[in-house]
Amino acid sequence: MWASFGIALSLAGTGLTWLPGHDMDRAFMFMGYIFTLSSAFALAKHTREIEARLVDTPLWGTVVWAAFVFAMGLTAWGLWRMDINPAFKSFLGVSWLFLVSAAFTLAKMLRDEHECAKATIEP
């Protein structure tokens, strides 16, 4: 899973590095990718805690879901409105979605690994 996450991060970074156009567009997309990535990890953690019956307050669940939806929506909007070649938009969009997917998978793998280590230590 680390390899998949690393590849996704490399592809997204490559797309952002070579992004044609204005520096402001590049900065917006970089912030959007970071916001999306951090909210994906927070959502994965929140979802796993609900599954494990570690209940947070209802407002926390709303905040986590709202942040993820907001991050995805703003990044998609920024990508859509950029005046760049459609092939480049497609590359950025696919690498962004691959990064989000890899983040969810990595979060699950790390949590499973942690729980397995805890189970082998406890009598």
pLDDT score at 24: 86
Chain segment 36-65, per-residue pLDDT in tens:
999 999 998 888 888 777 677 778 889 999
Q: What total of structural domains would you count in the chain? A: 1
Tell me the average pLDDT across 72-99. 91
Inter-CA distances, 5 with 25, 85, 98, 105, Å: 24, 26, 8, 8
Supply the range of the domain harboring residue 73.
Answer: 2-121
Chain segment 105-120, per-residue pLDDT in tens:
998 888 888 888 877 8
Under a CB-based contact definition with an 8 Å cutoff, are residues 36 and 29 in contact? no
pLDDT score at 65: 92
Q: What is the pTM of this model?
A: 0.79
